[in-house]
Structure 1
């Protein structure tokens, strides 16, 4: 992070409660890390998706996020992604979960740092902004997030170039019943837009001006009440999972 105050000091207060680990996504991340016994987790936050059966070096610049880490997890080191306080090849693997878009001017440096400190695989859970922009909430109501994502989400091919080596990209569908209430999880829960706590637990809403949020809430509430939302998007209610743009990018040495 390049800001004087880490962004999540302001918007991270509810993450431990509403942004809980989805075991299906966690399994995908563990598989990507392979047999690594030591893992650097950058943007570690409150500890969701952090392996419990391996030695972890957690990096988190936000004191608010670090304070939400449960006692069984290692304390986080306060540092930014672009200058990790670690030697080359310090760990078997490295990971970052929905964090890169918050690294601002340090995005490229941060990804290259992950590659530098990991002897083996680097696993990045990130978002394909083009796909995410087609989800009903972003496409029809919160268009400002689509514009923001295009600016702050590094394209997948750019990430691959920064990582180097053998890179694969996996689509990670978001389940209807996911306990991780990201903005992408709203695909199945339009009523959640009316929940202030749910909105606050997503950086997409939290980074918007108040008048934008008020407009979106009013529009979704109206369209739910008069049936417009279901007329346009009702087929989604029959799906168990959906591709909202979540991607797992894995780079092997």
Structure 2
């Protein structure tokens, strides 16, 4: 999993900007089925943890743990690659937009399977997905996905079986991950909003892409090319739910 000090820096605005969207949460919670005890790996500030289950959170970053509400389930500081729990400790395990941060994804998956009696539910991103206009301005994002995002076929190899479905992203998504603002292009010009997106931290200098995006928004070039998006309520932005029974 990502070194704790990375999210001690990146995660300072997460509790504010990365609020769980209930429409996305509904997919995750349905996939958990009737599991009563749930492990949340890479739990961060607690997004998408179901309130009606016995949840144990695991998170490597002290900064992120410190942002968890007082009412949130207990959090254990640790990494996915070496889970501090006995075999078959939980009815289900979940991991939300975190697998790409793990240092050893295969080992992390093996650990998830080891401690889980039932389903494993993972919200992730398909690195082969390219139908996102933001890549026109920041092509480095595609290269980053190739480096850090597991191919979807890897999950069945690691977990033994996997069912994969698309999670549509609403146009007014309140969880500020990378593609949450697909219908709000001016949002990407706001450094505060970008601060909640780890991809922008990782690709470094984004000034050229930001300048071009600002220019295209002012001139109408963005609207001319992508204006049809403004009429869509939801969109496939490449996010996938992986369920391993």
Question: Same fold by TM-score, threshold 0.5 exceeded?
Answer: yes
> What SS is found at the alignment partner of 1:129?
coil
Which residue of the other structure, out of 148, 160, 165, is the alignment partner of 2:144?
Answer: 148
Which residue of the other structure, out of 214, 219, 222, is the alignment partner of 1:229?
Answer: 222
Larger fraction in helix: 1
Shift of 1:56: 0.9
> What SS is found at the alignment partner of 2:143?
helix
- The farther-off stretch of 87-96 and 201-210 is 201-210
Q: TM-score, normalised by structure 2?
A: 0.97
Take 1:92 and 1:111, find their aligned partners in 2: how far apart are those partners? 16
> What SS is found at the alignment partner of 1:115?
helix
Gaps of 5+ in 1: none
Which residue of the other structure, out of 136, 156, 160, is the alignment partner of 1:160?
Answer: 156
Tell me the matched-pair count.
245
Counterpart in the other structure of 2:18 = 19
Gaps of 5+ in 2: none
Superposed CA RMSD:
1.1
Counterpart in the other structure of 1:107 = 105
Which residue of the other structure, out of 126, 134, 137, is the alignment partner of 1:137?
Answer: 134
Q: Which runs of 4+ in 1 moved over 6 A?
A: none
Deviations 1:49-80 (A, max 9, x none): 01111111110001111111011112311111
Take 1:6 and 1:224, find their aligned partners in 2: how far apart are those partners? 36
> What SS is found at the alignment partner of 1:95?
strand
Counterpart in the other structure of 2:114 = 116
Shift of 1:15: 0.9
Counterpart in the other structure of 2:86 = 87
Which residue of the other structure, out of 203, 216, 240, is the alignment partner of 2:233?
Answer: 240
Deviations 1:95-126 (A, max 9, x none): 0000000002x111111111111100000000
